[in-house]
Amino acid sequence: MAAETGTPTTLTLKSNDDELFSVAESAAILSVTIRNMVEDGCAGGVIPLDNVDGKTLASVITYMNGISAIPADEEKKKSYRDKFLSDKDFETLADMVLAANYLNMSCLMDAVSAKIAQVMEKKSVGWVRRKFGIENDYTPEEEAAVKEEHKWTFEGVETDDDN
Amino acid sequence: MAGKRVAKFQTKKCAEIVYGDDDRISRLPDDILVDILSLLSLKEAVCTSVLSSRWHNLWKHIYRLNFDPHVSLQKGTQQGFESCKEKRKKKFQKDVNRWINFAIVRHVQRLELDLTTGDSSRYNCSLPQELLTKNTSSEIDFKPLKVLCLKSVDVTEEDIKFFQSKCPMLEELVVDRSLKLLNVEVCGGPFLVLKHLELTRCYNLKSVKVCAPNLTSLTLQKVECLLLENVPRLVEVSVCRAYSKVSTTVALSAFACCDFQLEILTLEMKGFE
The CATH number of the domain holding residue A65 is 3.30.710.10
Same structural domain, A94 and A145: no
Measured CA to CA in angstroms, residue B200 lies from A78, A103, B174, B197 at distances of: 38, 48, 8, 10
Same structural domain, A67 and A145: no
Same structural domain, A54 and A28: yes
At B178, give phi and psi (nearest 5°): -110, 120
A74 occurs within a structural domain: yes
pTM, to two decimals = 0.50
A3 occurs within a structural domain: no
C-alpha B131/C-alpha B134 separation (Å) is: 5
A38 occurs within a structural domain: yes
Closest CA to B123 of B94, B160, B95, B88: B88
A4 occurs within a structural domain: no
Nearest CA in chain A to B74: A152
Same structural domain, A24 and A83: yes
The tens-digit pLDDT sequence of chain B (273 residues) is: 444 434 333 333 333 333 344 556 778 888 899 889 988 888 888 889 999 998 988 888 877 666 555 554 444 444 455 555 555 566 666 677 777 777 777 778 888 887 776 544 455 667 766 666 655 455 567 888 899 998 888 888 888 988 888 888 999 999 988 888 889 999 888 888 999 999 988 888 888 888 899 999 999 887 778 888 888 888 888 877 655 555 666 666 666 656 557 778 777 766 554
C-alpha B200/C-alpha B185 separation (Å) is: 15
- For the four alpha carbons of B47, B53, B57 and B58, in that order, the dihedral sign comes to negative
Same structural domain, A26 and A72: yes
A18 occurs within a structural domain: yes
Task: Mark yes or no for CB contact A117/B52 under 8 Å.
Answer: no
Same structural domain, A21 and A85: yes
How confident is the model at residue A130, as a pLDDT? 85
How confident is the model at residue B267, as a pLDDT? 75
How confident is the model at residue A22, as a pLDDT? 93
Same structural domain, A65 and A81: yes
A1 occurs within a structural domain: no
Nearest CA in chain A to B81: A150
Q: Which residues of B touch A54 (CB under 8 A)?
A: 8, 12
A22 occurs within a structural domain: yes
DSSP state of A29: T
How confident is the model at residue B112, as a pLDDT? 82
C-alpha A103/C-alpha B181 separation (Å) is: 48
Number of structural domains in chain A: 2
Same structural domain, A148 and A100: no
Same structural domain, A107 and A60: yes
How confident is the model at residue B175, as a pLDDT? 92
How confident is the model at residue B10, as a pLDDT? 35
Same structural domain, A136 and A63: no
How confident is the model at residue B6, as a pLDDT? 40
A159 occurs within a structural domain: no
Angle at A132 between CA A131 and CA A137, to 5 degrees: 110
Nearest CA in chain A to B80: A150
Low-confidence ranges of chain A (pLDDT < 50): 1-4, 161-163
How confident is the model at residue A99, as a pLDDT? 94
Whether B75 contacts chain A with CB within 8 A: yes
Interface test with A, best of B4, B13, B24, B54 (most A CBs within 10 A): B24
b/e string for A8-39 if b means 16 or more Cβ within 10 A?
A: eeebbbbbbbebbbebbbbbbbbbebbbebbe
Same structural domain, A96 and A78: yes
Residues B200-212 pLDDT 10s: 888 888 888 888 9
Domain housing A93: 10-120
Same structural domain, A60 and A89: yes
**DSSP element (H, E) containing A115:** helix A106-120
Q: Which residues of B touch A21 (CB under 8 A)?
A: 2-6
Under 8 Å between Cβ of B218 and B238:
yes
